[in-house]
Amino acid sequence: MGVRTALKRGFDRVERPLDRLFGPDWNPMANLGTLSWLMFWIVTATGIYLFIFFDTGVVNAYQSVKWLSETHWLHAGLARSLHRYASDFLVLLMLVHMVREWAFDRYRGKRWFSWITGVPVIWFVYMSGITGYWLVWDELAQYVALTTTELLDALPFFAEPIARNFLTPASLSGRFFTLMVFLHIAIPLLLLLMMWIHIQRITAARTMPPRGLSVLTLAALVIVSFAMPAVLQGPADLARFPSTVGLDWFILGLYPVIDLVPPSVIWTGALLFTVLMFGLPWLPPRKDKAAAEVFLDFCNGCTRCEADCPYTAITMVPRSDGAPFPQEALVDPERCVACGICMGSCPSSTPFRRSGPLITGIDLPGRPLSKLREEVIAASADLAGPGRVMTLACEHGAAAAPEKGRVILPCVAMAPPSLFDFILSRDLADGVCIAGCAERECHNRVGAQWTKERIARTRDPLLRERVPRDRLLTLWAGPTEGARLDEALAGFSKDVAALEPMPGKRSLETDATGEEDPR
């Protein structure tokens, strides 16, 4: 097992108990990006509030922080603690989010964009935090100022060593402090811009956690802020040097390393880390399958595929073939990861068609609908006995390994609802199990959601009413839930075996004779 697979399974194991505590939809591990956004907004709101009380001059900064923390502990002190703890959470969430996206292999191939734009985000988050600690002008701030300026002075950019600003109480410069105040506003604004760019290749990216998760997170942060208000250390004094400081290990966790190794090593390390991070999507690259293709003869410009594609790979453009529709779908092959979700969303994707070759409006060249139809028919031949269950499986979930009677798809949402109808009504199986990946989060972002909504008949294309719901099982299970999958499949097989024979089903052979469907 490779490192990535091991890590991915590790995440799955850790996340399963959280599913029970939070519910899959509120699972924080499936909301790391959205929670990071929430933290950003908490930090922004409390930051603006703090500026009402904060004295931006170096002489009075410390006193103003002390005053707002003590005299106005109920609101301004709360804002300060929230400001700090939400920043810490932002760092933590960001790092876990990053490792998780790597483990889930969502950073390579056509999905490189979010990764590359995430790298500068790391820098901006840390720089925002460091400039923030500077402003308190307590002993920790002094330590940060000294260590940071000495590190920066090792670069050949600054004429005057900037550490000279912190030699003696007399050399302390108000101008320099004002610069820090400015940077502590400007850097987070740039961070916001980077965060916005970060999600530009994600269709309808979620930037807010589910309401309940937001509420419980904020409530927990408020309680923490009152129980353990943010610490204020002794006032900075340049006639002394703080040999011991209480460190914020999230934001300043690397400062001890800066103390211990030469600046050249730090800068080389930072440079190598950044280059490595930028290079990671190509070390090695992932070859995505051929991009989806539009067949205009079967496209009426209904926009469903555009709405369903998770990666903004489809746009609607003016009709090019003279057909009497205003628009047609256009796929950007640079963005298409070949998840097949668009194929499942196209109204032309129906395996029932009898005349002519089976072509749909939007199809995967590597795995066209016609091939999928054949695979389903072939899988049916492997099923025997009472309670034959065919599984349409997601290649990232518990049912990712080949098995008799199982068709594995890049995403379960690649299967149009008419395929379930086809399998049951043409007697290819007695039941269909749709085995997606873990419910908390779909590998292709929205595949699970679209599948549920299509079956519930709230999203086009709707599952036909005639499909007996007791012969459909949707099962969401992550890679480490093989046992639960097997158990559910065995139970489902027993259940469908006990059902009355399905009315109106007919064999494929009768289809071939051209008889009309009796219904």
Positions touching ligand HEM (CB under 6 A) are 33-34, 36-37, 94, 97-98, 101, 106-107, 111, 114-115, 118-119, 121-122, 125, 195, 198-199, 202, 205-207, 445
Residue 168 touching another protein (CB under 8 A): yes
Q: Are 246 and 73 in contact (CB under 8 A)?
A: no
Q: Are 158 and 152 in contact (CB under 8 A)?
A: yes
Residue 82 touching ligand SF4 (CB under 6 A): no
How far is residue 210 CA from its own chain's centroid? 14
Ramachandran class of 319: left when φ > 0, alpha when ψ lies in -120 to 50, beta otherwise: beta
Among residue numbers 10 through 29, which ones bind ligand SF4 (CB under 6 A)? Answer: none
Residue 305 touching ligand SF4 (CB under 6 A): yes
From the list ligand SF4, ligand HEM, another protein, none, pick the one residue 114 interacts with, judged by a Cβ distance below 5 to 8 Å according to partner type. Answer: ligand HEM
In the complex, least distance from residue 459 CB atom to ligand SF4, rounded to whole angstroms: 12
How far, in Å, CA of 40 to CA of 327, rounded?
Answer: 39
The one segment of 4-12, 21-29, 223-231, 332-340 that binds ligand SF4 by CB under 6 A = 332-340
Residue 489 touching ligand SF4 (CB under 6 A): no
The one segment of 68-76, 93-101, 136-144, 294-302 that binds ligand SF4 by CB under 6 A = 294-302
In the complex, least distance from residue 363 CB atom to ligand SF4, rounded to whole angstroms: 9
Pair of tokens at residue 495: 């259940």
Among residue numbers 20 through 79, which ones bind another protein (CB under 8 A)? Answer: 21-23, 26, 28
How far, in Å, CA of 246 to CA of 233, rounded?
Answer: 8
How far, in Å, CA of 108 to CA of 419, rounded?
Answer: 31
Asked if residue 461 has a cis previous peptide bond (ω within 30° of 0), the answer is yes
How far, in Å, CA of 99 to CA of 388, rounded?
Answer: 40
- Kindly tell me which residue out of 338, 407, 467, 473 binds ligand SF4, with binding defined by CB under 6 A: 338
Ramachandran class of 303: left when φ > 0, alpha when ψ lies in -120 to 50, beta otherwise: left
Which helix (H) or strand (E) is 3 found in, with range?
Answer: helix 3-22
SS3 state at 473: strand
* DSSP category for residue 168: S
The position carrying tokens 């050949």 is 156
From the list ligand SF4, ligand HEM, another protein, none, pick the one residue 33 interacts with, judged by a Cβ distance below 5 to 8 Å according to partner type. Answer: ligand HEM
- Kindly tell me which residue out of 98, 337, 438, 489 binds ligand SF4, with binding defined by CB under 6 A: 337
In the complex, least distance from residue 221 CB atom to ligand HEM, rounded to whole angstroms: 17
Binding site for another protein (CB under 8 A): 18, 21-23, 26, 28, 81, 84-85, 88-89, 92, 143, 147, 150, 153, 159-161, 163-164, 167-168, 170, 211-213, 215-217, 219-221, 223-225, 227-228, 230-231, 238-250, 255-256, 259
